[in-house]
Structure 1
Amino acid sequence: MRIRLALVALSMLVASPVLAQSVLTPKDRAAAFRAAGFRFAAGKWSACGDPGTPSYSPGQIETVRDLNGDGRPEAVITEGGTYCFGMTGTGYTIVSKQADGTWKNITGGTGIPNFLATKGVGGWPDIEIGGPGFCFPVERWNGKAYVLNRHQYDGKACRPQM
């Protein structure tokens, strides 16, 4: 249920003309994928590699928007499949266009990123990492990296079961 809600939220985010503030040129798309560690082969972008399983979906840019308010776009790149990402079935990478025009890998992992209103250093939004279960990690930007800040479910503190 929670995964489905996160996917609906992600699809609304992608479809929103207000949030899709930037359309990437083919050159920027390729640079963003490369910064995220993806390789282009057989007509698709992949970081995990297509294992030939039915659940696999190649890399795609889900969202392009300015996450931290610096006037430059960030891109959320996803890839799917249980072979690579277990029960969650999705991996993500967030890359950011730098002032010099290059792209930089900011963070990534297994799960579905949900950007929250709370913020870390430099205006970067906290990220709730959705997946199976009922208690999700929330990571906060500390100026150098996204690190675990808390766990929550529906905005309320929780303790993950071990």
Structure 2
Amino acid sequence: MKKQITLMDRPRMQRTLHRIAIQVWERMGNDKELVIIGLNERGYATALELSENIADLLGKDISAHRYEVSGNSSETPLPDCNDKFVLLVDDVIFSGKTMFEALSAICGMYEPDIIEIAVLIDRGHRKYPLLTHMSGITVPTKAGEHIEVMLKDSKLKEAILFKNK
């Protein structure tokens, strides 16, 4: 039987995304064009809500783009990232494989000015040399544990840690 622990509820996610939006605004400066790319379904849901927070800070519309890392990524082509501030967004980062594949795709096609990573939850245990400077919480998990961000109507609902009892 698995034990479930709620790591983040909806209000906490909203506060976290607002804080990350402020960090993005501080890092990007006034002269850079921002491109937000959400990875897969949950990363895109996170990116959409983050882009709303950033748009409120900047006073202009900021759109988020969806990029499907696994499967047929040609169905969701990457936006132009040349000479731009690129923000890669995912709900949870663990080994870094998904993020690394997205970074490889972007750098294989474009030359961004800077690329930053933002995530709601950092599980640690990286296999790839990636750092997240903007994350909501860090939860180093054990073998057999899993974190899942739940969606309701394509909006972030809660983050659950599933532990083996």
TM-score between the two structures when normalised by the length of structure 1: 0.30
Which structure features the higher share of helix residues?
2
Higher strand share: 1
- TM-score computed with the length of structure 2 as normaliser: 0.30
Higher relative contact order (CA 8 A, sep 6+): 2
